[in-house]
Amino acid sequence: MLAHEKSKDVSHPTCVGIIMDGNRRWAKENAVSAYEGHSEGYKKLKEIMSWAREGHISHVVIYAFSTENWQRSEEEVNYLMQIFRFILKNEIKNMVDKGVRVRFIGDITRFPDDIRNMIKDAETQIAATYDITLHLAVSYGGRAEIVAGVNALLTEGATTLTEESFAEKLWSHDMPDPDLIIRTGGEKRLSNFLPWQSVYSELFFTDTKWPAFTKEEFNAILAEFSTRERRRGK
């Protein structure tokens, strides 16, 4: 299903977006370094994939690193790059072996050469059969994605566009629109996450910091989602 297509109303979502917020605040509350907070956040990402599979969710979109995150301290950005390198070197094959397809959405050109090359290699590793796709939004910003889509159409000489032709040019073009978006950490905003794709998403905000997010809370959100009537303006 393409990004511009609308998901059917079902008791469980096809696609779940997650804004993983609260790693650094969790670390402060637990008297550990911010880097340990990010490390615990990565461990939670691995857990969420198994929970999603149990919930019959076929697409998970993780807001892993925003375009604004490049403005953090050089030390923290370098540490996050090391986490990316570890995931790309050590975890992608494990995910593929477990039937997970991995895709990346974002301005990949901003990464160092070695990470860009590993991202390209990672996307070629596809299991013979897979039942869930992990979309990692890295160096991602919704406004930047929209501008990139418009520029791609202009480069091709387009003089008019439709929602369908525009959606095909987005970084996330092979991903369904998220049925629901979860943000941890207490903030109640989307922070430039999938502005085009989220117009009919159900939104769930929790005060729980990402490393402390539990399977019980995730399942409670899915249960509430199943009770919501999604009219999409009708």
Catalytic residue among 9, 69, 97, 114: 69
Per-residue three-class SS string for 156-221: CCCCCCCHHHHHCCCCCCCCCCCCEEEECCCCCCCCCCCCCCCCCCEEEECCCCHHHCCHHHHHHH
Catalytic residue among 21, 23, 177, 179: 21
Q: Is 69 a catalytic residue?
A: yes
Q: Is 192 a catalytic residue?
A: no
Is the alpha carbon torsion for 224, 172, 105, 170 positive or negative? negative
Give one DSSP letter per residue of 37-98, joined into a string: HHHHHHHHHHHHHHHHHHTT--EEEEEEEESGGGGS-HHHHHHHHHHHHHIIIIIHHHHHHT
Catalytic residues: 21, 69
